[in-house]
Amino acid sequence: MSVIDRFLKYVKVDTQSDELTNLTPSTPGQMLFAEKLVKELITIGLTDAEVDNNGYVMATLPANTDKVLPTIGFIAHMDTSPDMSGHNVQPRIVEKYDGKDIVLCQEENIILKTEDFPEILGYVGDDIIVTNGKTLLGADDKAGIAEIMSAMEFLIANPEIKHGKIRVAFTPDEEIGQGADHFDVKKFGADFAYTMDGSDQGIIEFENFNAALAKVSFKGRNVHPGYAKHKMVNALRVANQYAIMLPRWETPEHTEGYEGFYHLVGCEGSVENTTLTYIIRDHDRDRFERRKKEFSHLVNKINKEFPGCASLEIRDQYYNMREMIEPVMHIIDLAKEAISNCGMEPKVEPIRGGTDGARLSFMGLPCPNLSAGGMNFHGRFEYISIQAMQNAVNVIVEIAKLVANK
């Protein structure tokens, strides 16, 4: 089966994750998908293929050489983002893309415009898979799964290509930050691994945000508004006062590259009780710690004006994997060489987000991120080039070859 046929089949399975269920996997569609993947892994010839009670799929491609080689891992996640529906995905192939705007849904006037998404012009001439404008596509990260599966099938079908032991894993709930929660690094048994979860082809990512989640709660005092002077404390207004005290320009819509930010992602409230939910992000660990202290400083400032009104709950989510990758930079050099050998230019870029690989690196499995080829993740304008997917398959195979030859 080709990588494209696999991908088109996989995106039809609804695996949208849900952080509110407190289950692992968080949704039944992920376990259903995991069971199907195990059957496929067995069919193409991998050994030890299994899914555990938490929905983690693992399998082995045994070595076909007597050389003593490191065990490589390749990892992708099964869930799609809760930001947009992944139900009834209807992919469409735009053959030999001509560089013009793509109409996704005529009746609702949903158009993938080059003016809004100029990166698509880098794929002129390619065959592009798009949505019907009503769901996300699911290239994040079903493209990665399809690519890993196809690369393993290719290596099995071509035994003259020598390789060491390769482990593959497909994980649940990456999109809600829980993809590594129950990952058994010891059982996986790889010396290093790559997540196939990046976007534009040729990209290598081994720097990501340090990340924290902050909830700032405000307790007000409700009094009849006609008689509220010097009595009412409106939690909604105090929360708004807190929000505007944070730097206006240090938000996602005003930052790029290595610049960190504060991002208000939720607000629930009334006059009596209001809660603001933020994510805090920065590549630099010192600046990250200062950002967290700023939240505490502003809570104290609010409480001086409104005693006992504000409280803060803050927890770290993940850290920049760079410090765990720097001692093993040969795995980055290996990826660069593989990408070059496959006719692309390697591009090392920081992730303005996080991946399972970040947490896995701190759990003892160095795990940078490589391109899976998808673009515009998490929304109706998501797309992927068929040629980019095949290039990702080639990179996986090339990494296996290089490890054996070196």
Instruction: List, by residue number, the catalytic residues.
Output: 79, 174
Tokens at 318, concatenated: 């993940």
Q: Which 3 state secondary structure label does DSSP give 272?
A: coil
- Is there a contact between 280 and 288 (Cβ–Cβ < 8 Å)? yes
Tally of helices (H runs) and strands (E runs) in the chain: 10, 18
Q: Residue 361 half-sphere exposure, CB side, CA atoms within 13 Å? A: 28
Q: Give φ, ψ of 319 to 5 degrees.
A: -125, 165
Distance separating alpha carbons of residues 19 and 25, to the nearest angstrom: 10
Tell me which residue of 390, 396, 387, 393 sits closest to 122, measured CA to CA. 387
With tokens 């990665």, the residue in question is 144
What strand order describes the sheet that includes 92-94? 92-94, 128-130, 383-385, 374-375
β-sheet bridge partners, residue 217 = 275, 311
- Is there a contact between 181 and 172 (Cβ–Cβ < 8 Å)? no
At position 125, the amino acid (one-letter code) is G
Tokens at 259, concatenated: 């610049």
β-sheet bridge partners, residue 268 = 275
Q: How many other C-beta atoms can be found within 10 angstroms of the C-beta atom of residue 83?
A: 12
